[in-house]
Chain A
Amino acid sequence: MKKEKEGSFTERIWSFFASVKLSVVLLIVLAATSIIGTVIPQNADPAGYFQSYGEVFCKIFKFLGLFDMYHSWWFLFILMMLTINLLVCSFKRLPTVWKIVSVKNPKFNKKRFNNIKRKDSFIIPSSPEKLKSVYESYIIKKLRYCHSEETDAGFVLYAERGRWTRMGVYIVHLSIIILFIGAIVGSLFGYNGWVNIPEGVTVDHIRLRGNSTLRQLDFALRCNDFQATFYDSGMPKEYKSSLTIIENGQEVLTRSVIVNDPLRYKGVSFYQSNYGILPPHRVTLKLMDYKTGKSESIEAPFHKKVNLPDNQGYFKVVRFVSDFMNAGPSFQIQLLDNGKSPVLLRLFKNYPSLDRMRKGRYLFSVESYPEVYYTGLQVTCDPGVWVVYSGCILLIIGITITFFMSHNRLFMEVVRDEEGSRVTIAGTANKNRLAFEEKVKKITEGLQLLS
């Protein structure tokens, strides 16, 4: 008794997962919930969330995992349910379909022939014996498989094409499972990170996304050069880094990397992602003496006292901002003119005369500073990507088979008649029946011309 109950319980679970109703419900739930993550920005700055949604909603959303919903437990749970559903549905139906597909030498089936409503028939002044070989060779050209048998009254013929296409839908479902497997392999054994490399510098580790921990690479990578080019309109044209792979102290590979053309080495891919200019360590300033009208260039390292030309005080470069208030690069300078209270100057590279407003003893302006670019690379290792791609190709093939190919069958009965032979033809297809009926009509017309 107990055993039977268990059996019925597993059976109930089995039939729960074997229903297409469940697939439809899961697809609806996936479609509906996926909208949430397109409205709430994903993995954004927590402070921004607090500002947009307030404290209470922030807590609720966080609890429901809505800030990273596509990786939340409940979303993954729905995907898992769909996977099980897909597997169970396929396992349930596959044996029946396999039975049909695996038939080796299908023959004329009188019952099936009689069941087809629409039949074409004509009389031809030729004996069945003569017609048999002629018709066979004609039909095999049209449908690939043909089998005929002699009967008391003449012969019967069965032809078909595309029996295997009944497997199309299982190819689609299998390909989706393969996609999921590829995605899981990628998330378990792969990683995703970034690295910024200044020109001329070699690195052997990257920073992982998410937790920003360091990850050692099996080789070192040097950025030889970075170039950004622009169209006349100011739009970016190309970002290009020249990279060299160094393994065991030896240069193995040197290549240019641009957007859409990553460097791949030993399963790790480097993508051109962004770039920037390193903050300089020194700057050359121009000091114009208002009294004498003479200018002097002074090279000043950061955070070091530099004497003014008249030795009546000193200044110190304290800070660099690459783009201050959209006004371009700027330097902050502490100025201590003897006998005056210290002042903080902000000098803009692009506005050299701005310091005039201060009405000081010297007019400070930025003459030059070393610009060293760094290239920003996205680094990924995804051993599952080829699995995903195979799944994708299989998915396209599967959909094409499922919707655009069908199992077509043609039945023919030839009976001896007073005037020769009476030929009756009927055709069926598991999909797109009307198209095949038209084809059968054409075949019938073709057969009438043969003799």
Chain B
Amino acid sequence: MNSSFLLSIITFIYGASSFLYITTWIFKKPIIGKLATIVTYLGFLGHTVGIILRWVESYQMGAGHAPLSNMYESLVFFSWSIILLYLLIEYKYKNKSIGGFAAPLAFFALAYASLSPHIEDRIAPLIPALKSNWLIAHVVTCFIGYAAFAVSFGVAIMYIMKAGDAQGKSRLLSQFPSVKILDRLIYQTITLGFLFLTMGIITGAVWANSAWGSYWSWDPKETWSLITWFVYAILIHSRMVRGWRGKRIAFLSIIGFIAVMFTYFGVNYILSGLHSYAQ
């Protein structure tokens, strides 16, 4: 079994866990919730094996590099980070309704990687510009950051749904954590994402300086990552100093995630620049 095949199976497992999380949320069946968690843990285990297997395969082929070098591999790692972060949150907060909003994001990322005909899932050797020890540091920090923002986005949507039902009439929304906890979760995941995005931008800058002799060249990818950083910086200042809470923060989190998505996909597909090997 090769890694691409294993990872496409994981796609279906995440599809199943998304379905189970949503089912347990809607039908309030704790047994389904337990099943959802077990399936997700199994999926995550398989996903981890898939990434390691791909790494091993690349060495067997003689290409020899960490599986973090193109769009396919980054999507696989992005999806993995989302699930990791979600499982930590589920463990800490003991609430499975969040799974209905986090697991689908990981599922979409992996489904796009595995099923899209535009995305090459073959292992390719590295071109000279990518042969650097900064590759792992840069990609890992960026995508952990992106994953934290993705989870924050999911929770922000939950917040907006829950806040729309102030009287607490909805039976469905009573499954959600309280608005206070959701609000805190949005912010906590954003601060985590912000730290990792900062590290991602910095490792990218150091790498660019060792490859091209310039740590910042206002390339579209760099600029968009900075725009994303600005959006979250705005959110953090609004909250820390101006005391914004709740809906406003939730909306800003959604705007931030749109900026993340544009930095990730939009720049590659719409704009051109130095970062084009990520296609």
* Complex interface: stretch among B26-34, B37-45, B46-54, B202-210: B202-210
Least CB distance from B35 to A in Å reads 30
Assess whether A239 is interfacial by the CB under 8 Å rule: yes
From known contacts A34-B223, A37-B223, infer whether A396 and B128 are also in contact, taking CB-CB under 8 Å.
no
Set of chain A residues within 8 Å of B237, measured between Cβ atoms: 20, 23-24, 27
Assess whether A35 is interfacial by the CB under 8 Å rule: yes
Assess the B231–A31 pair: CB atoms within 8 A. Answer: yes
| Known interface pairs A24-B237, A235-B125; 9 further A-B residue pairs with C-beta atoms within 8 A, sorted by A's residue number | A21-B242, A31-B230, A37-B223, A236-B127, A259-B129, A273-B212, A379-B213, A396-B198, A396-B202
Q: In terms of DSSP, what is the predominant structure of the interface of chain B?
A: helix
A side interface size, CB within 8 A = 48
* Complex interface: stretch among B72-80, B154-162, B214-222: B214-222
Assess the B227–A35 pair: CB atoms within 8 A. Answer: yes
Q: What CA separation (Å) do A385 and B209 show in the bound complex?
A: 9
Closest 5 CB pairs of A and B: A259-B128, A31-B230, A403-B191, A380-B213, A38-B220
Assess whether B146 is interfacial by the CB under 8 Å rule: no
29 contacts between A and B (CB under 8 A): A20-B237, A23-B237, A27-B230, A27-B237, A28-B234, A38-B220, A38-B223, A38-B224, A39-B271, A192-B213, A192-B214, A235-B125, A237-B127, A259-B129, A259-B131, A259-B211, A260-B128, A260-B211, A261-B210, A272-B128, A388-B205, A392-B202, A392-B205, A392-B206, A395-B198, A396-B195, A396-B199, A403-B191, A404-B195
The proximity string for B residues 113-137 relative to A, scoring 1 for CB distances below 8 Å and 0 otherwise, is 0000000000011011101100000
Q: Interface of B with A (CB < 8 Å)? A: 124-125, 127-129, 131-132, 184, 191-192, 194-195, 198-199, 202, 205-207, 209-216, 218, 220, 223-224, 226-227, 230-231, 233-234, 237-238, 240-242, 267, 271
Set of chain A residues within 8 Å of B207, measured between Cβ atoms: 260
Least CB distance from B202 to A in Å reads 4
Q: What CA separation (Å) do A196 and B238 show in the bound complex?
A: 51
Set of chain B residues within 8 Å of A169, measured between Cβ atoms: 240
Q: What CA separation (Å) do A231 and B64 show in the bound complex?
A: 13
Q: What CA separation (Å) do A34 and B226 show in the bound complex?
A: 9
Least CB distance from A183 to B in Å reads 8
Assess whether A238 is interfacial by the CB under 8 Å rule: yes
Assess the B132–A262 pair: CB atoms within 8 A. Answer: no
Q: Interface of A with B (CB < 8 Å)? A: 20-21, 23-24, 27-28, 30-31, 34-35, 37-39, 42, 70, 169, 183, 192, 231, 233, 235-239, 258-262, 269, 271-273, 378-380, 385, 388-389, 392, 395-396, 399-400, 403-404, 434
Assess the B210–A262 pair: CB atoms within 8 A. Answer: yes
Set of chain B residues within 8 Å of A31, measured between Cβ atoms: 227, 230-231, 234
Set of chain A residues within 8 Å of B192, measured between Cβ atoms: 403
* Residue among B131, B184, B195, B234 making CB contact with A24, cutoff 8 Å: B234
From known contacts A20-B237, A237-B128, A379-B213, infer whether A70 and B202 are also in contact, taking CB-CB under 8 Å.
no
Q: What CA separation (Å) do A271 and B129 show in the bound complex?
A: 11
Least CB distance from B225 to A in Å reads 10
Set of chain A residues within 8 Å of B226, measured between Cβ atoms: 34
Set of chain B residues within 8 Å of A388, measured between Cβ atoms: 205, 215
Assess the B227–A34 pair: CB atoms within 8 A. Answer: yes
Q: What CA separation (Å) do A34 and B263 show in the bound complex?
A: 13
From known contacts A38-B220, A378-B212, A396-B199, infer whether A238 and B128 are also in contact, taking CB-CB under 8 Å.
yes
Q: What CA separation (Å) do A331 and B69 show in the bound complex?
A: 40
Set of chain B residues within 8 Å of A392, measured between Cβ atoms: 202, 205-206
Least CB distance from B100 to A in Å reads 24
Assess the A400–B242 pair: CB atoms within 8 A. Answer: no
Set of chain B residues within 8 Å of A231, measured between Cβ atoms: 125
Shortest Cβ distance from B272 into A: residue: A41
From known contacts A27-B230, A235-B125, infer whether A271 and B212 are also in contact, taking CB-CB under 8 Å.
yes
Assess the A399–B198 pair: CB atoms within 8 A. Answer: yes
Least CB distance from A430 to B in Å reads 11
Shortest Cβ distance from B210 into A: residue: A260
* Residue among A23, A24, A37 making CB contact with B218, cutoff 8 Å: A37
From known contacts A23-B237, A31-B227, infer whether A400 and B195 are also in contact, taking CB-CB under 8 Å.
yes
Q: What CA separation (Å) do A29 and B38 show in the bound complex?
A: 47
Least CB distance from A242 to B in Å reads 16
Least CB distance from A228 to B in Å reads 9
Q: What CA separation (Å) do A81 and B199 show in the bound complex?
A: 25
From known contacts A262-B213, A399-B195, infer whether A20 and B230 are also in contact, taking CB-CB under 8 Å.
no
Assess the B132–A260 pair: CB atoms within 8 A. Answer: yes
Shortest Cβ distance from A272 into B: residue: B128
Assess the A239–B128 pair: CB atoms within 8 A. Answer: yes
Q: What CA separation (Å) do A42 and B219 show in the bound complex?
A: 9
Assess the B271–A237 pair: CB atoms within 8 A. Answer: no
* Residue among A20, A183, A233, A271 making CB contact with B213, cutoff 8 Å: A271
Set of chain A residues within 8 Å of B209, measured between Cβ atoms: 385
- Greatest chain A CB density within 10 A among B132, B184, B218, B238 is at B218
Set of chain A residues within 8 Å of B267, measured between Cβ atoms: 38
Assess the A27–B233 pair: CB atoms within 8 A. Answer: yes
Least CB distance from B128 to A in Å reads 4
Least CB distance from B127 to A in Å reads 6
Shortest Cβ distance from A398 into B: residue: B198
Set of chain A residues within 8 Å of B198, measured between Cβ atoms: 395-396, 399
Set of chain A residues within 8 Å of B212, measured between Cβ atoms: 271, 273, 378
Assess the A20–B241 pair: CB atoms within 8 A. Answer: yes
Q: What CA separation (Å) do A392 and B215 show in the bound complex?
A: 11
Least CB distance from B107 to A in Å reads 29
Least CB distance from B94 to A in Å reads 14
Q: What CA separation (Å) do A231 and B127 show in the bound complex?
A: 9
